[in-house]
Structures are given as structure tokens and as C-alpha cells.
A and B are shown apart, each in its own frame.
Chain A
């Protein structure tokens, strides 16, 4: 089974609203990363949070990490139509093994 699972699987919001995606994982990690994938394209890195960090910000992105619950969340504030994409969490363990969750498909309606 996969290391990470995301929730919800799909999310549809109006432009300007905030979008929150959650990720749960199973094993210990060195860091957790979030990626974005536009349809038919490769993944693009968004943000990385280390296992000893609890919160991190980058522009309109806010990531939290709770290692005791083995969970993370990604918040996109003031969403735009261009944010429409699939979002994946990835956990990084020993030997830089990178495993991905199942993804959240976000649709932002103009």
C-alpha cells in the first residue's frame, strides 16, 4: 500500500476561497514535500517541511506537519483559476526514498 493518502480526493471551490488538502502517512520521515501536477505534465515541487518543523509558508501556501499524528496539511489561500491542478504529498525517508500519496484534484471555478 502507498505511504501517503490524501484527503479529499477531489475538491471544487470558487476563486478567492481557500483550499485545504490533508495528507496522512505511515512511517518515519526526514521531510515531507508537496507537489503540483497540471494535467498531462510532470510534477513540480511546491514546498518542503522538515520533520522538526511544524509550519512553513511560501507565498499563498501554508504547510503544517504533525509527526505525532503522521499528518500534514496544505493550505492555498485566495485561490485562483490557475491553481487548478492535482496536488500530491511526498514523504522522504532513509536513502532519500521518496514516496507519494494518492493526490487531491483541485478545481478552482472562476
Chain B
């Protein structure tokens, strides 16, 4: 597996609390992504980063923020968790160059109660 680690792997949290998920890579890849996966929707892009401190919104960014202060870490924060944010979250990375593949982490299962 590519050097991607997501933490935590599982989390249960209460509605209204902030939650931060971490994606850590050891590949020195430029691009990093956060997706959520829900039945019937496939993977939907939340935010992505094209460099340190360079981020952009995806399809479903409302209620989420991200930060990338160094190449290896990409943090996803749910500012005030809601039950609709219960999902499996995947981090991915891809390298320099237009035609490169993405490598995925193992996912974080988040339950908001």
C-alpha cells in the first residue's frame, strides 16, 4: 500500500461537536483529497489540496474545512458535526504530473449520534 495513514479509523461523536480527521502521507505527493462515501452516491469530493496551504472546495464542502500546513498532513474538520455527516471518509493522494493515479487510505468510519 502507498504510505497513507488515516486517523482515527473509527469515531463516534455527538451532534454539535467539532471533529478532526487526519490524513498523513509519506510519499511526498503534491495532491491530497478528502472524499465521503455514502450508499447510492459513490465517492463525493469534499475538499482537495494542490500544495501546502493551497486548497479548493469539492462537491460537498458545506460544513467542512481543511488545512494543509505541511506536505505530509491534510486535516479535515467538521466544524459542528451533524447526523448527515455520518459516513465513511477516504483520503487520497496523487503525485506530480497530469497523468498519475490516486492512492487511497483505508477510510475512517464516522458516526454522529
Quick check: is B12 within 8 A (CB to CB) of the other chain? no
Name A44's closest neighbour in chain B (CB-CB). B104
Provide the B38-77 mask, 1 if CB < 8 A to any CB of A, else 0: 0011111100101000001011000000000000000000
User: In the assembled complex, which residues on chain A have CB atoms less than 8 Å from the CB atom of B56?
Assistant: 95, 97
Report the count of interface residues on B (CB-CB < 8 A). 28
Report the count of interface residues on A (CB-CB < 8 A). 27
Q: Is the interface of B mostly helix, strand, loop or mixed?
A: strand
Q: Judging by beta carbons under 8 Å apart, are A30 and B42 in contact?
A: no
Q: Is the interface of A mostly helix, strand, loop or mixed?
A: strand
Binding site for A on B (CB under 8 A): 30-31, 33, 35, 40-45, 48, 50, 56, 58-59, 90, 92, 94, 98-107
Q: Judging by beta carbons under 8 Å apart, are B99 and A90 in contact?
A: no
Binding site for B on A (CB under 8 A): 1-3, 6, 30-31, 33, 35, 41-45, 48, 50, 88, 90, 92, 95-103
